[in-house]
C-alpha cells in the first residue's frame, strides 16, 4: 500500500528554501519529514527537481560493482558545458561546501524513454553521443557536511552542487573506462591520481543501463542532450574559494574549473 503518512512535498519545500536562503540550513530534515528509504528519498528529490527547473543531466553511482545504483537528476542551473579548450568559472559564494571530484560524463544523443522491454547494454551505449571529462562540485543544503543519514542526502540531490563538462571523444565505443587513468589537480598540484579506473562502482555501462531502465523512470526517462555523470574516480577533495581545479583523463579529455 502507498505510504500516506510521509509528505515528500513538505520535505522538498524545506530543502528548496534552504538552498534559496529563505531559511537557515538545518542539520537534517525534521524527523517527520526525513525519508526512511530510497523510494521516499526519490519522491523528495523529484519534487525538488520539478520545482527547480529543466532536467539537464543526471548523476549515478554505486558503492561497488554489485551494489544497487543511486541517482540524482540535475537541473539546467547547475550544469555548465565548457567551450572547447576553455575553463568554466563559477562563483564560490554559490556553494556552502565545495567538494570536487573528477568524473566521466556521457552525452545522450538519443532519447531513452520509459518502455516495457528493458534496454540492453548495446542499446544504451549506442544512444550515447560522446564521453567526456567532468568535474562535479559536491555541496549540501544542510548546515554541516555528511552529518545526515543516507536517505536525507539522497533526497538533497545526492549532495550535488554543480557539474562542469569538459572535452572528450565522440567515439564512445572505443573508450575503455576500466583502464582509463585520471589525475585531479588543485591549484597546479596533483591531489589524486590513479593509473586506472578509480570508481568503486566498476563499469559505468552498468550504471547507465540501470538509469535508463529504472532510475530515470519517475522523471520521464532519459532525453537527447542530457548528460550522465557516472561517479567519482578520485574521491571528494574539499577546496576553498579561489581554487583552480583540473580533471585530466589522459588520452581522452580534461575539464577545468575556476571557483572565483
Cα dihedral across residues 119, 122, 123, 125: positive or negative:
positive
pLDDT at 5: 86
Phi-psi region of 203 (alpha: psi -120 to 50; beta: other; left: phi over 0): beta
Q: Are the C-beta atoms of 207 and 60 separated by less than 8 Å?
A: yes
Tens-digit pLDDT profile for residues 70-121: 999 999 999 999 998 899 999 999 999 999 999 999 999 999 999 999 999 9
The highest-level CATH class for domain 54-259 is alpha beta
pLDDT at 239: 98
Rounded CA-CA distance 117/61 in Å is 23
pLDDT at 1: 37
pLDDT beneath 50: ranges in the chain: 1-2
The ranges assigned to domains in the chain are 54-259
- DSSP symbols for 43-75: HHHHHHHHHH--EEEEEEE-SSTTSPPEEEEEE
Overall pTM surpassing 0.85 (yes/no): yes
pLDDT at 2: 45
pLDDT at 48: 98
Rounded CA-CA distance 95/254 in Å is 23
Amino acid at each position: 500500500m502507498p505510504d500516506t503518512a510521509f509528505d515528500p512535498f513538505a520535505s522538498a519545500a524545506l530543502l528548496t528554501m534552504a538552498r534559496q536562503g529563505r531559511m537557515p540550513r538545518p542539520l537534517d530534515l525534521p524527523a517527520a519529514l526525513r525519508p526512511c528509504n530510497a523510494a521516499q528519498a526519490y519522491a523528495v528529490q523529484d519534487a525538488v527537481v520539478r520545482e527547480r527547473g529543466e532536467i539537464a543531466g543526471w548523476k549515478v553511482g554505486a558503492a561497488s560493482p554489485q551494489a544497487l545504483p543511486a541517482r540524482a537528476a540535475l537541473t539546467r542551473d547547475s550544469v555548465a558545458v565548457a567551450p572547447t579548450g576553455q575553463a568554466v568559472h563559477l562563483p564560490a559564494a554559490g556553494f556552502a561546501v565545495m567538494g570536487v571530484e573528477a568524473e566521466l560524463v556521457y552525452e545522450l544523443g538519443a532519447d531513452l524513454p520509459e518502455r516495457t522491454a528493458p534496454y540492453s547494454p548495446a542499446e544504451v551505449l549506442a544512444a550515447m553521443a560522446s564521453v567526456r571529462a567532468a568535474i562535479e562540485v559536491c555541496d549540501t543544503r544542510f548546515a554541516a557536511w555528511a552529518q545526515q543519514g543516507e536517505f536525507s542526502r539522497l533526497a538533497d540531490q545526492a549532495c550535488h552542487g554543480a557539474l562542469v563538462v569538459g572535452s572528450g571523444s565522440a567515439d564512445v565505443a572505443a573508450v575503455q573506462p576500466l583502464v582509463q587513468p585520471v589525475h585531479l589537480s588543485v591549484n597546479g598540484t596533483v591531489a589524486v591520481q590513479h593509473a586506472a579506473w578509480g570508481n568503486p562502482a566498476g563499469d559505468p555501462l552498468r550504471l547507465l543501463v540501470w538509469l535508463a531502465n529504472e532510475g530515470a523512470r519517475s522523471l520521464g526517462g532519459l532525453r537527447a542532450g542530457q548528460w550522465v555523470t557516472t561517479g567519482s574516480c578520485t574521491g571528494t577533495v574539499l577546496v576553498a574559494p579561489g581554487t583552480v581545479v583540473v580533471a585530466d583523463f589522459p588520452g581522452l579529455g580534461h575539464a577545468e574549473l575556476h571557483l572565483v
